[in-house]
Amino acid sequence: MKDLTIPPEAVSRADDELLGVLADEHCRTVLWYFRYYSTHVATVDALEQFVCEQHGQHAGEAHVAVYLHHSILPKLANAGLVDYDARSRTARYRVDPNVETWLDHVTEHGEPHA
């Protein structure tokens, strides 16, 4: 049997972080917002509405905005995919060709719903 073990040096820490972010459906949904609307800047309110539409929730539910503010947007910012300004409640997408490629791959499997 062939050994399919990936040597640790073949996957960088950045790759691990990116795959971790892309494994989160809400992170992918936020990234899809920027692609779907062909924009690089979004308010938390606009992202909240898009996330709710994609996941069958009601816009205006406080927990969605809180989740975006405290979890999803900081996670994307830590991965270098967005710049998030909590004071102005805006996120700026930092285009990454590697992420774009992965999102294209995900599209083949049915995302997003919009």
Whether residue 56 is contained in a domain is answered as: yes
Residues spanned by the domain of 89: 25-107
**Strand 41-43 relative to strand 90-93, pairing:** antiparallel
Query: How would you write the pLDDT of the chain (114 residues) with one tens digit per residue?
Result: 565 555 555 456 667 778 888 888 899 999 999 988 999 999 999 999 999 998 887 766 678 989 999 999 999 999 999 999 999 999 999 998 888 887 887 666 655 555
Whether residue 16 is contained in a domain is answered as: no
Whether residue 65 is contained in a domain is answered as: yes
pTM, entire model: 0.79
What are the b/e assignments for 42-57, b being 16+ CB within 10 Å? Answer: bebebbbbbbbbbeee
Whether residue 12 is contained in a domain is answered as: no
pLDDT given for residue 111 in this prediction: 56
C-alpha–C-alpha distance, residues 106 and 67, integer Å = 23
Per the structure, the count of domains in the chain is 1
Residue 65: closest CA among 92, 82, 89: 89
